[in-house]
Structure formats: C-alpha cells, structure tokens
C-alpha cells in the first residue's frame, strides 16, 4: 500500500485485525520493511502490525537530502498512523529505527504506549560532539569502497545467519551507496543533537549477544540505567537480532507486551 504524503510516496503494509493492539516496526539504515517478516508472521495473529519503508528505502519515494532524515522519518510515522486512524501504538525500531521512534515519542508522547529498541542507542544523553567530525568522512569512505564489497561487508558484520546476511546484502545494494551515506551521516548528527531528557515510556531494550562490543556495552548501560527500561540480551544473534534469532526475540517481546497489557488494564 502507498501513502501519498508531502514527503513523497511511502510504502507500508498493514497486517492483522483493525481493532487489535498496534505494533509499528521501523527498520535500520539501508534496509526495508522485510526486516520484520518474521515479526509480521508472529504478531499479526494477536496485533495490528504496521511495517513501512523510509524515503529512499525499499518501495518508498527517493530521499530528499535537504530534509533532516531522522526527524522527517518520525513525522512520516505519525502521518502514516493518522492516515490509518491509529491513535496509539507500541513503537519498535531496529538500529536507526530506534532513533526514529525516540524522536516520534518526543513529538507525541501520549500516543506511545511503549518503545521497543532493537540494537538501538539512546539519544539521551547526547553523544560527544566529537562524533560530528566523523560525518564529513562518511561519504568519501563509502565512495571509495568497491560496491560489491561494501554491501557484503555491511551484511557480514551485522548478522550471524547466512539468510540474514543475504537479505542485507541484497537490500543495501538495491538502496545504493548514496542512501547508505546520507542516512548514516544523518544518524550521526541526530545522535550528537540527542534529547534533552530521558523518555518516560516503558521500554524493552535489546542487544544481540554477538553485537559489536562498543555498541553492546552502550546498550547494556542504557538498559541498566533506564528507570522504565527492561534489558534483554538475545543469544545467538548479532545486530539484526530479530532476524538472527526471531524465536528468542519473540519470547522476550511477548513477555514485555503481556506485562504491558496487564499494567494498562483497568
């Protein structure tokens, strides 16, 4: 399905019952809605599941480099839910998607029932401004990398399963180097700007057992300090943990959603 918005055409899929609790999944850099095929299959039996493609990704319209990417993606997310007449939802984001849902929750906090962070980093506190110095280097580094090799490297360094890596290599090649470069730079800028305060929403904060150590350690510290956060380390999984080990991820997310439903019931 297509949402015609002021940001261009946005591809989305709407699965499950119209009156069921809503789960929205937001994918990572250079990926698309298919990142969550296993989650659609699992949760559409009990939830209304929304998956979609960012600008420049998958089947959505081209990326506008003049727009701040993460902030624009958060606005598109709310425009999509308005279009579908969805008032509130649990928002889940993988990597880049975690930043998008944090911005979305900042913009419209009362519409967010909970947040699910899949290999994402907290925007509060902001990261060191020295990270801003890396942004200008992203484009030359990606441009110098041979196309075939960069997509294989991108895939193999973020996944354990061959099937996960094959998907990542295929979709990142389809989206192209320009999207990878522009969106990575945009994510770095968003991390430097950060948020002024931690978000108050219940949160499931997930990292893969085989995640890159620096990223893994930051996620663990976030999960340990977040007052409303629950940390989950998914075994036998890397950065795309929901694809590497969907069964364990579903078990953890099921428990989180069930607990959330109990606390919100009158």
pLDDT tens string 121-151: 999 999 876 666 676 776 677 777 787 799 9
Report if residue 148 sits inside a domain.
no
Domain boundaries, position 51: 2-127+195-264
Report if residue 144 sits inside a domain.
no
Number of domains in the chain: 1
Q: What is the pLDDT of residues 165-183, one digit of tens each?
A: 999 999 999 999 999 999 9
Report if residue 71 sits inside a domain.
yes
Report if residue 168 sits inside a domain.
no
Looking up residue 52, the CATH number of its domain turns out to be 3.40.50.1820
Q: pTM of the full predicted structure?
A: 0.96
Q: pLDDT confidence of 266, banded at 50, 70, 90?
A: low
Report if residue 153 sits inside a domain.
no
Report if residue 173 sits inside a domain.
no
Find the range with the poorest average confidence among 9-13, 30-34, 151-155. Answer: 151-155
High-pLDDT (> 90) share of the chain, %:
85
Beta-carbon count within 10 A of 155 CB: 22
């Amino acid at each position: 399905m297509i949402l015609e918005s002021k940001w261009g055409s946005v591809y989305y899929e709407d699965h499950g019952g119209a009156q069921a609790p809503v789960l929205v999944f937001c994918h990572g850099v250079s990926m698309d809605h298919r990142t969550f095929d296993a989650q659609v299959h699992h949760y559409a039996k009990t939830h209304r599941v929304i998956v979609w493609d960012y600008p420049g990704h998958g089947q959505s319209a081209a990326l506008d480099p003049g727009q701040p990417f993460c902030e624009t993606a958060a606005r598109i997310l709310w425009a999509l839910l308005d279009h579908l007449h969805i008032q509130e939802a649990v928002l889940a984001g993988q990597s880049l998607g975690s930043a998008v849902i944090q911005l979305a929750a900042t913009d419209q906090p009362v519409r967010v029932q909970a947040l699910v962070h899949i290999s994402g980093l907290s925007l509060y506190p902001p990261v060191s401004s020295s990270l801003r110095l890396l942004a200008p280097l992203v484009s030359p580094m990606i441009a110098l990398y041979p196309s075939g090799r960069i997509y294989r490297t991108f895939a193999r360094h973020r996944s354990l399963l061959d099937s996960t890596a094959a998907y990542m290599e295929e979709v990142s090649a389809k989206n192209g180097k320009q999207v990878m470069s522009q969106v990575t730079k945009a994510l770095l800028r968003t991390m430097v700007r950060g948020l002024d305060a931690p978000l108050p929403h219940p949160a499931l904060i997930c990292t893969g057992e085989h995640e890159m150590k620096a990223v893994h350690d930051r996620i663990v510290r976030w999960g340990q300090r977040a007052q409303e956060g629950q940390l989950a380390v998914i075994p036998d999984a890397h950065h795309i943990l929901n694809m590497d080990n969907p069964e364990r991820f579903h078990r953890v997310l099921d428990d989180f959603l069930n607990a959330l439903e109990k606390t919100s019931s009158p």
